[in-house]
């Protein structure tokens, strides 16, 4: 059967993609942040998955404010990088895995989660920046990717508990797929940041790291964090962190043995543009 063996968590700040594309990664401002992913790039080479299930949010690119699905799974054979106003990022197109994506959609819907099935869409920095951080600048991404878009842009957005439970359903779906595949699940977005209003530029280092501690050690309690806590403590865009709980809910320790995962890497940096950057790798023992 297929199996989820690791989860990756990372911010997806658009300015990070611009820094990569414009060759600024060794500049003094950016170098400390990119050094935090040196371990991760080697880990990816040493632990290359067969498929990445990548949870992210679309930034009014594939879905306009006219139609915003709460959860949308990409089932296409390929996904083209989107033009977000400055031309598409110069990165490879994303190759999908239609068979596994369709199987996950069927299984998760039968577990009473309503998903939107997307057979054609472009993918923006929410998906491509994490791939760049973990994989560098290859001619092709190292494996197929299943995009899974979550609405954290327009309220109402899903609760952390809903996302955590969805992660459990995704793990069950993957494990019922009749092919020997090594799957990694990624949760992206966050950490604390606010892009507008009187608190624009807000970064809360203490809250971010306390949230990370709890997500690792007591994810069930972390999933109960209400939206107002994210907004008050981590800014209006800090609610993106609920997407990390989808990946966390899909890990083996949630399904049984509490000692079955290991923290392989943890990194935190401020600022990147006007955002806190968080990064974590959890792997089955």
User: Sign of torsion, CA 7 275 34 146?
Assistant: positive
97 is catalytic: no
Do residues 107 and 100 lie in contact, with contact meaning Cβ atoms separated by under 8 Å? no
Q: Does this model's pTM top 0.95?
A: yes
pLDDT (0 to 100) of residue 27 = 98
User: Sign of torsion, CA 25 199 70 10?
Assistant: positive
pLDDT tens readout for residues 201-226 = 999 999 999 999 999 999 999 999 99
Rounded Cα–Cα distance for residues 246 and 22 (Å): 32
CB count within 10 Å of CB 196 equals: 10
pLDDT (0 to 100) of residue 257 = 72
Do residues 283 and 40 lie in contact, with contact meaning Cβ atoms separated by under 8 Å? no
pLDDT (0 to 100) of residue 49 = 98
193 is catalytic: yes
The one catalytic residue among 125, 184, 269, 279: 125
pLDDT (0 to 100) of residue 255 = 76
Non-local (6+) Cβ contacts of 222 within 8 A are: 160, 164, 211, 214, 215, 245, 248
Q: From first to last of its 285 residues, what are the pLDDT tens digits of the chain?
A: 999 999 999 999 999 999 999 999 999 999 999 999 999 999 999 999 999 999 999 999 999 889 999 999 999 999 999 999 989 999 999 999 999 999 999 999 999 999 999 999 999 999 999 999 999 999 999 999 999 999 999 999 999 999 999 999 999 999 999 999 999 999 999 999 998 899 999 999 999 999 999 999 999 999 999 999 999 999 999 999 999 999 999 999 997 777 789 999 999 999 999 999 999 999 998
The one catalytic residue among 12, 97, 193, 269: 193
pLDDT (0 to 100) of residue 192 = 97
Nearest to 211 by CA among 247, 258, 245: 245
């Amino acid at each position: 059967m297929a199996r989820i063996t690791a989860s990756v968590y990372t911010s997806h700040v658009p300015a990070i993609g611009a820094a990569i594309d414009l060759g600024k990664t060794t500049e003094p401002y950016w170098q400390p942040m990119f050094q935090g992913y040196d371990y991760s790039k080697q880990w990816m080479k040493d632990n290359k998955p067969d498929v990445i299930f990548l949870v992210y949010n679309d930034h009014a690119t594939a879905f306009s404010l006219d139609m915003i699905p709460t959860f949308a799974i990409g089932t296409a054979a390929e996904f083209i990088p989107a033009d977000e106003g400055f031309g598409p990022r110069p990165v490879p197109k994303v190759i999908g895995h239609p068979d596994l994506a369709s199987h996950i959609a069927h299984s998760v819907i039968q577990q009473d989660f309503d998903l939107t099935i997307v057979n054609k869409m472009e993918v923006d920095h929410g998906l491509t920046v994490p791939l760049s951080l973990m994989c560098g600048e290859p001619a092709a991404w190292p494996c197929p990717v299943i995009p899974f878009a979550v609405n954290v842009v327009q309220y109402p957005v899903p609760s952390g508990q809903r996302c955590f439970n969805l992660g459990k359903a995704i793990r069950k779906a993957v494990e019922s797929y009749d092919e020997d595949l090594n799957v990694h699940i990624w949760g992206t977005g966050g950490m604390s940041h606010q892009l507008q209003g009187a608190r624009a530029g807000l970064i809360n280092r203490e809250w971010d790291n306390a949230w990370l501690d709890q997500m690792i050690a007591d994810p069930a309690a972390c999933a109960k964090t209400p939206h107002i806590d994210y907004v008050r403590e981590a800014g209006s865009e800090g609610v993106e962190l609920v997407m990390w709980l989808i990946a966390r809910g899909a890990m083996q320790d949630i399904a049984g043995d509490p000692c079955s995962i290991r923290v392989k890497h943890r990194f935190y940096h401020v600022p990147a543009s006007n955002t806190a950057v968080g990064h974590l790798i959890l792997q089955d023992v």
